[in-house]
């Protein structure tokens, strides 16, 4: 399973890429707004230049024609741009048009297998089921991801599943177990994935044992 960062923070992206584990980035208007007053196009282009894989950026239009027009413009920003299109009827039509023009679409805000089936049929390169938001309303978000993965695998579809709205490392673990192609995670979750108290205590014990050895030999 590949790891994407769900952020528009340049320093966080730079750190993730430096660690060698970040294969792509996803953004949306909410995430971009957290970076304050920014030049949207300039920021996305900078992210694209840093990241080795796909960078998803989202349209703001709600009608199909507007989505397509925005997407065509955004697609020119960088070779690794992917356009996030919402899972609506208008979005479905836009996805069909854009995929026919070889513009990669991330079919986002997906909450059901039905939406995913239609998004894949329309040619979306990626489907993004939102795990955390489903969990928030008492549904099992990861079960929806599992259903989508199973369907796409059985139909031999080339569409990839991005487990999105990830809230904690356990979500990543479950996404990996059910075969999600990608998990897009907040920076804080990425850091938490590497943390374990036994690792920290083990390192400290190794240091303490080595200090005692050195002291015994008179080398401290």
d(CA 153, CA 136): 27
Q: Beta strand pairing status for 2-6 and 160-163?
A: unpaired
d(CA 208, CA 211): 5
Give the residue numbers annotated as catalytic, written as ranges: 84
Residue 162 · residue 4 · CB < 8 Å: yes
Alpha helices in the chain (DSSP H): 10-19, 29-33, 40-50, 64-74, 89-100, 113-121, 131-136, 141-154, 169-177, 187-193, 197-216
Residue 103 · residue 78 · CB < 8 Å: no
Residue count (the chain): 220
SS3 148: helix
Q: Residue 99 has which token pair? A: 């995929």
Q: Residue 101 has which token pair? A: 């023009």
DSSP one-letter code for 160? E
Q: Residue 41 has which token pair? A: 């196009």
């Amino acid at each position: 399973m590949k790891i994407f960062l769900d952020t528009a923070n340049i320093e966080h992206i730079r750190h993730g890429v430096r660690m060698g584990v970040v294969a792509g980035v996803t953004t949306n208007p909410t995430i971009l707004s957290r970076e304050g007053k920014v030049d949207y196009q300039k920021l996305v282009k900078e992210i694209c230049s840093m990241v080795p894989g796909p960078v998803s950026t989202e349209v703001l239009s709600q009608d199909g024609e507007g989505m397509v027009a925005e997407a065509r413009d955004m697609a020119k920003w960088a070779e690794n741009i992917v356009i996030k299109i919402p899972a609506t009827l208008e979005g479905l039509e836009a996805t069909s048009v854009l995929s026919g023009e070889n513009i990669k679409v991330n079919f986002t805000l997906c909450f059901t297998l039905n939406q995913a089936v239609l998004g894949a049929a329309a040619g979306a390169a990626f489907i993004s089921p939102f795990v955390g938001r489903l969990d928030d309303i008492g549904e099992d978000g990861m079960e929806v991801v599992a259903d989508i993965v199973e369907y796409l695998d059985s139909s031999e579809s080339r569409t990839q599943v991005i487990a999105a709205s990830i809230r904690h490392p356990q979500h990543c673990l479950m996404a990996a177990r059910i075969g999600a192609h990608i998990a897009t995670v907040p920076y804080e979750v990425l850091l938490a994935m590497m943390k374990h108290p036994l690792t920290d205590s083990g390192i400290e014990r190794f240091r303490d044992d080595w200090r005692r050895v050195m002291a015994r030999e008179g080398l401290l």
